[in-house]
Structure 1
Amino acid sequence: MDTLLQQIVNGLVVGSVYALVALGYTMVYGILGLINFAHGEVLMVGALTALQVILWLMGVAPDMAPLLMLSIAVAVAMPVCMLLGYLMERLAYRRLRNAPRLAPLITAIGMSFLLQTLAMIIWGRGNHSFPQLISTEPIALVGTVVITPVQIAIIVISALMMGGLLVLVNRSRMGRAMRATAENHKVAQLMGVDTNGVIALTFILGAGMAAVAGVMIASNYGIANTSMGFMPGLKAFTAAVLGGIGNLAGAVVGGLVLGLVEAIGAGYIEDISFGFLNSSYQDIFAFTILGLVLIFRPTGLLGERVSDRA
């Protein structure tokens, strides 16, 4: 039972990050019908930018409080990634809105390789040690089940950001404009909605959340590198599909479910495979789920709400 509870805690931590990144995928898809495969690289840029700021602050103000240092790093990383998200939309995707679907998909993959290559030129190919400015000392919950302060911060910050986004989309004037643009671009324009601005804002919001997710991952594992965004980005896409791509609540549910399945599976994989596999093969669960969802329920757990009008 302790093993199960510990894996549930681990799954909630990982799932919170997946859900945060999945929201970026599902927002862009809901409005443009585009899978932005470069989203994972935005996460990577956020983590490495925050690392650069932290190292600079350690040099100029070594006595600064760790939490303040991390907050400043995030406050710099988010605008950098937001600007990157805006430039991606403005320069790479805007001209392809009316192109065949394959064109923006290939462009997104190309943007992913471009950003990763540029990051390699700036930061190099190797791993970088990310200062763990939030304590990683385990806190006992029940029995042998533990959680660290950094994991608590990941869950709380993710929940706040996801809740804030849902309120923005469902309760604000800008949210109505986003929903109208997702429903029909041309009709939204006729009603006075600045669809270009709404689409740009969607990329900006998704990139900002990806930056925070990148810092969370680097803080939790203590490592950052130029390839760190690929696997979380792919799993976040899986989470978006699982929950129902285009549905914000579905992205949250999909991320949490995927994190729990992956963590619990990693805890018991040796037992169910009779010792042939170990926890390093935990990725098999994410992609098995992706295949099953695409085969048996392509609309995902919650699906995308689509209304047809005469």
Structure 2
Amino acid sequence: MAYALIAVGYSLVFGILRLINFSHGAIYAFSAHMALLFISMQFGIIPAIILSILLTGLLGVFIDKTALEPLRKKNSIPMATLITTIGMSNIIQNLLMIFFNTERKPFPAFFDFGMLKFGSLQINSTQIVMCVVSLILLVLLTLIINKTKLGLAMRGTEQNSKAACLMGINTNFVISFTFFLGGASAAIAGALISGYYQIVYPGMGFMVGLKAFAAAVLGGIGILYGSVVGGLVVGVSESFAATFLGSSYRDSVAFIILILVLIIRPTGLFGKKDIKKV
């Protein structure tokens, strides 16, 4: 579910812009550090998480306004925006190193009510909270996209941004709002995952971001519920690999799955082929 929480952010931005936001992993690390900063300032855990969500959402908007919107106005090639997001990821990660140093810092556990036993099965309460929050976030984002006027504008922008603009939709605002939602979802993931592992550091978003991207592709990038399914498949596969093959093979499983999916079913489990009239 940790991968699912982060993969939702990838799918959200891709579903509207057809853009892979490779700065998403660094945004996730930024959110965890902001939450830790506010907790250390005695704000309390819940207010700290809320402030982290707002700041991280604004960071997503800032990235779009300063780095991506100028490229859209110049009709630059998609590769330019992809490279730009990778560059922004490195900038954010290095700024975190400068201001918070490279050491691993403890993060307080919360929503931890001990182990829950179901017969011989033991589940940590934090794991249950992560599952519940992931599902609530999925439902909330789905309702926003499918049941609101802003969601309709988002879908219109995704289908044809020029036509949406001619119909009076402020496409730049819609795109910025999408980045805000992506940043907010990364902040929720950062708080929950940091609280579960009880540790944060500047590079924490690199590998988990790549694995979440693999999960998003597996489920069908751009499909929100596909991200949850993809996250579960990648996570369970990693657990089996660590159990039967050894922990050294754990990180390779997500990328093996990604390669197989791209070969066998490039659109993912729930994705569909785009049909475009020329």
Map of 2:85 onto structure 1: 108
Question: Cα offset for 1:134?
Answer: 2.9
Question: Cα offset for 1:307?
Answer: 4.5
Amino acid at match of 2:117: A
1:72 & 1:265 partners in 2: Cα distance? 38
Amino acid at match of 1:296: I
Question: Cα offset for 1:113?
Answer: 0.5
Runs of 4 or more consecutive aligned structure 1 residues displaced over 6 Å after TM superposition: none
Amino acid at match of 2:92: L
- 1:78-227 superposed matches below 5 A: 78-97=53-72, 98-135=75-112, 137-143=114-120, 145-227=121-203
Please list every run of 5 or more consecutive structure 2 residues that lacks an aligned counterpart in the other structure. none
1:76 & 1:247 partners in 2: Cα distance? 28
- 1:1-310 superposed matches below 5 A: 16-57=1-42, 69-97=44-72, 98-135=75-112, 137-143=114-120, 145-269=121-245, 278-304=246-272, 306-308=274-276
Question: Cα offset for 1:105?
Answer: 1.3
Question: Cα offset for 1:280?
Answer: 3.8
Amino acid at match of 1:121: I
Assess if the C-alpha contact under 8 Å between 1:238 and 1:290 holds in 2.
yes
2:110 & 2:270 partners in 1: Cα distance? 37
Which SS does the other structure have where 1:57 is aligned? coil
Which SS does the other structure have where 2:41 is aligned? helix
Number of corresponding residues: 276
Assess if the C-alpha contact under 8 Å between 1:85 and 1:204 holds in 2.
yes
Map of 1:7 onto structure 2: none
2:30 & 2:271 partners in 1: Cα distance? 31
Question: Cα offset for 1:231?
Answer: 1.4
Amino acid at match of 1:173: K
Question: Cα offset for 1:19?
Answer: 1.6
2:10 & 2:275 partners in 1: Cα distance? 21
Question: Cα offset for 1:299?
Answer: 0.8
Assess if the C-alpha contact under 8 Å between 1:266 and 1:279 holds in 2.
yes
Which SS does the other structure have where 1:282 is aligned? helix
Assess if the C-alpha contact under 8 Å between 1:247 and 1:304 holds in 2.
no
Amino acid at match of 1:51: L
Map of 1:12 onto structure 2: none
Amino acid at match of 2:16: I
Assess if the C-alpha contact under 8 Å between 1:247 and 1:305 holds in 2.
no
Please list every run of 5 or more consecutive structure 1 residues that lacks an aligned counterpart in the other structure. 1-15, 59-68, 270-277
Map of 1:275 onto structure 2: none
Amino acid at match of 1:54: I
1:30 & 1:38 partners in 2: Cα distance? 16
Amino acid at match of 2:52: A
Q: Structure 1-normalised TM-score? A: 0.85
Q: Structure 2-normalised TM-score? A: 0.94
Change (3 A) 1:305 1:191: farther
> What's the Cα RMSD here?
1.6
Question: Cα offset for 1:309?
Answer: 5.4
Assess if the C-alpha contact under 8 Å between 1:21 and 1:236 holds in 2.
yes
1:297 & 1:305 partners in 2: Cα distance? 10
Question: Cα offset for 1:266?
Answer: 2.2
The C-alpha deviation readout for 1:17-49, integer Å capped at 9, x for no partner, is 212211211121222221111101111111111
